[in-house]
Structure 1
Amino acid sequence: MMRALRRIVGALLALLGILVSAPVAEAAGPTCNGKFVNPVTDVCWSCLFPLSVGGLKIWPSGRPDTNNPASPVCACADPMPRIGISVGFWEPARLADVTMKPWCFPNLGGMRIAPGFDIGQGYLAGPSMVGGRSQSTAKWHVHWYVYPLLYWMEILTDFACFEQASFDIAYMTEVDPLWQDDALAALINPEAVVFANPIAKAACAGDCVAATANLPLDQLFWCAGCQGSMYPLNGNIPASIGHVQSSRLALSRFAYKMHRQALAWGTMGTKGLCKKYLMPIMRKQQYRFQMTNPIPTVNGRFACSAIGASTMPPDAGRAYPAGGEDMGYLVWRKRNCCVF
């Protein structure tokens, strides 16, 4: 336990160093809202389950789970031949800010920095109305943190399947021109033009139902279920109907973008037992999103809901006018691993 506390304190000290070294925000800039994530009270620890060995769930839960390898015995050849036990679990692996304010970090206590140069988009105080009140647009930025919480907390000592890394800010969309422009985004998602038609969009209704009731449909990879379309892979949301729906869509697109750029990898299924693998078309079933800011969701079946699931059961009333455009999410990732 002391080692776990030292890891957490070390991460907090690193964040303090960022706060001290960051330029002071401009007084005239918008207020950034948020708070640090408490790893004890702000994390839905029941989202770790179901826990499985082979195809058998030894610690079931009320949440849906992906298919696990049927055999409890597994074998790996790299880096050395070995035989082990096939386990499956959900790990809190990443933390994400999703905000309309450039350089605002809700999960770092609501810190906002001034980088000293004109980059990123201007602040959008809220979804802007275009075409009347029936339609609105939103522009979101995402900050992607390496956040291997299970390794820090030492839930299972020396468990080789945990990602062993330290806290790090891995990606900020303010410095990514592809995130801010639909035409440039086409460089990494040229197939978007194929799915820009009414038939493809209508199919997303089925993905919405499937994601809410059980798991999203990976075959409909161009859909983000109830939130809308996965394309383009940027933060420009053409039909925003609320901060929660809109921010979750932006985060879903960003996760897909990370896979398309080979910055995120597959960890689920038989292929993930021995090592991570390339997944340029993201499997939506690999992820769950849990809100951490402004109000954490820490219990209930929908506390960490799948990509594309309806936002009404878990997140209704959790975004408010003052600061509702500064959201934070904990990203849970399905992991199948061969333990030896």
Structure 2
Amino acid sequence: MKSFIRFLVAIALSWTGLAGAVVPTTCLGEFANPITDVCWSCILPITIGNAPVGNIGAQEDSMDNPPTPFCSCYPSEPYFGLVIGFWEPVRTVEVVRSPYCFPTLGGTTMGGSTSPPEAGRHTQNQADPVGRSFYQAHFFKDPVMSILESFASDRCLEEGGFDLLYITEVDPLWSDDELTLILDPEAILFSNPITIAACVADCLAASLSFGLPQLFWCDGCQGTIYPFNGNVPYHMGGVRTAELILHRFTAKLHRQHLAMAGHGAAGLCAPYLEPLMDKTGYKTSLSYPIPQTGYTDSPDGRCCQPFGRTTIFWASGKEFPARGEDFAFKLFRKRNCCESEDE
């Protein structure tokens, strides 16, 4: 049945002229179930003001919540409410080997007239057994809580439906380190042994709780987030490299004002721009090829992790030939909101 659906999608894309000129070597996937394929415990803890009122399994929260439980906002009509905090699943991010391959859409391939570089691992020579890697990435709007009309009012949930927001295949900066400097010129300051060694502390902090926001150039145990592109000079395994690409891609979209933060007192009335992303405002959960949904996915009983946490404890068995070489993640964003029953 899924193969037949993909066949119909491919025909429809060819009629609209979106069928890709680029034919990937392999593109497999499956449509995610919004009920069973989401780590729902990741929305916890829920807070009112700075006090936790709901948590199961000691879910983590590193963000400072506003201390007062009461708030007011002044949009078109002013209103008063309670300050609540939770982690909202708002995005799905794909990290893929083949251009225009969308595993979240059932393994659909689509594209345009461009010919972006193939991704995946590339061993350079016998003296470099680890090799480098390069992946394409896709950013989907996926506000499942709003779609399912769950938890809170529309004021505290991102509205809209599932939509494709950004693909790296058409971005010339994604495959070129020199062009990327237009977006992240500060990368030159963090490409030295001292700043790279500092990421060891970030790795330890992220593995115990959340990474250190002061070390914003670090992705914990995965390395450094610079440059903001898909070139990784050392391949660390599919899942670990995909986690690094996910962090880089999210930071890149923050820099381009295409992603917004929603935590703290500044986010009570609406999300806001954050060009230098606070990495402690996100948690991630693998949704493809094997969704992290249960307490057996990690020794600590959690099915999501902050940026930079070691993959040793949860990534075992998540990468395998063919179907398990592309990855998709659910991105949970910390949200503080002024909640009111009045609409």
**TM-score with structure 2 length normalisation?**
0.89
Cα offset for 1:318?
Answer: 0.5
Question: Which residue of 30, 37, 43 corresponds with 2:32?
Answer: 37
CA distance in 1, matches of 2:78, 2:308: 39
Structure 1 pair 302–132 and aligned structure 2 pair: CA distance change class (3 A): farther
What's 2:178 paired with? 183
Change in CA separation of 1:20 and 1:165 when aligned onto 2, cut-off 3 Å: farther
Displacement, 1:302?
4.1
Equivalent-residue separation in structure 2 for 1:172 and 1:159 (angstroms): 28
The one-character-per-residue Cα deviations of 1:169-204 (angstroms, maximum 9, x if unpaired) are 000100000111100100010000011111100110
Q: In the alignment, which residue of structure 1 is the partner of 2:66?
A: 69
- Say if 2:90 and 2:143, in contact at 8 Å, map to a contact too: yes
Asked if the contact 1:88/1:336 (under 8 Å) is kept, the reply is yes
Aligned-partner residue type, residue 86 of structure 1: V
CA contact (8 A) 2:211 2:307 kept: yes
2:81 is matched with which residue? 84
| Deviation, structure 1 residue 322 | 2.1
1:122 aligns with 2:118: yes
Q: For 2:116, what is the secondary structure of its paired residue?
A: coil
Give deviations 1:31-88, integer Å, cap 9, x for gaps.
2121111111111111111011001100023121022111111122334433210000
What is the root-mean-square deviation of aligned Cα atoms in Å?
2.1
Relative distance call for 1:219 and 1:81 in structure 2 (3 A) is same
* Higher deviation after alignment, 132-141 or 270-279: 132-141
Residue 338 (structure 1) aligned with residue 338 (structure 2)? yes
Equivalence map 1:135-146=2 (5 Å): 135-146=130-141
One-letter code aligned to 1:119 = S
Q: Give, in whole Å, the separation in 2 of the partners of 1:218 and 1:154.
A: 33
Q: C-alpha distance in 2, partners of 1:272/1:132?
A: 50
AA aligned to 1:109 is G
Structure 1: how far apart are the matches of 2:244 and 2:126? 21
Partner amino acid, structure 2, of 1:295: I
Q: Secondary structure at the match of 2:248?
A: helix
User: Using the alignment, how far apart are the partners of 2:91 and 2:72 within structure 1?
Assistant: 28
Which is further off, 308-317 or 293-302?
Answer: 293-302
Alignment-derived partner of residue 212 in structure 1: 207
Which amino acid is the alignment partner of residue 100 of structure 2? W
Q: CA offsets, 1:137-160, max 9 Å, x none? A: 111111111101001111136442
Q: Which amino acid is 1:21 matched to?
A: A
Please say if residues 87 and 334 of structure 2, whose CA atoms lie closer than 8 Å, have aligned partners that are also in contact. Answer: yes
State the shift of 1:232 in Å: 0.2
Query: What amino acid maps onto 1:22 in structure 2?
Result: L
**Which structure 1 segments of 5+ residues have no match?**
1-14
Partner of 2:99: 102
Confirm or deny that 1:51 pairs with 2:42: no
- Opposite residue 96 of structure 2, the aligned amino acid is T
Q: Give the match's secondary structure for 2:133.
A: strand
Summarize deviations over 1:111-151 as a string: whole Å, max 9, x none.
12253x24211354x34245734532111111111101001
In the alignment of these two chains, the number of paired residues is 325
Partner of 2:320: 320
Say yes or no: does 1:245 pair with 2:240.
yes
How far apart are 1:263 and its partner, in Å?
A: 0.5
Q: 1:205 to 1:131 in 2, by over 3 A?
A: farther
Identify the residue that residue 308 of structure 2 maps to in structure 1: 308
Q: Aligned partners of 1:157 and 1:223: how far apart in 2?
A: 34
Question: Residue 318 of structure 1 aligns to which amino acid in structure 2?
Answer: K
The answer to whether the aligner puts 1:297 opposite 2:292 as a matched pair is: yes
**Aligned residue for 2:279?**
284
* Paired letter, 1:35: E
Deviates more, 1:315-324 or 1:38-47: 315-324
Q: Rate the CA distance shift 1:258–1:123 in 2: closer, same or farther, 3 A.
A: closer
Q: Name the aligned partner's letter for residue 288 of structure 2.
A: N
Q: 1:244 to 1:56 in 2, by over 3 A?
A: same
Distance 2:155 2:209 in 1: 30
C-alpha distance in 2, partners of 1:51/1:309? 22
Structure 2 runs not aligned, ≥5 long = 1-5, 296-300
Greater CA drift, 297-306 or 254-263: 297-306
**Matched-pair identity in %:** 39
Q: Secondary structure at the match of 1:312?
A: coil
One-letter code aligned to 1:274 = C
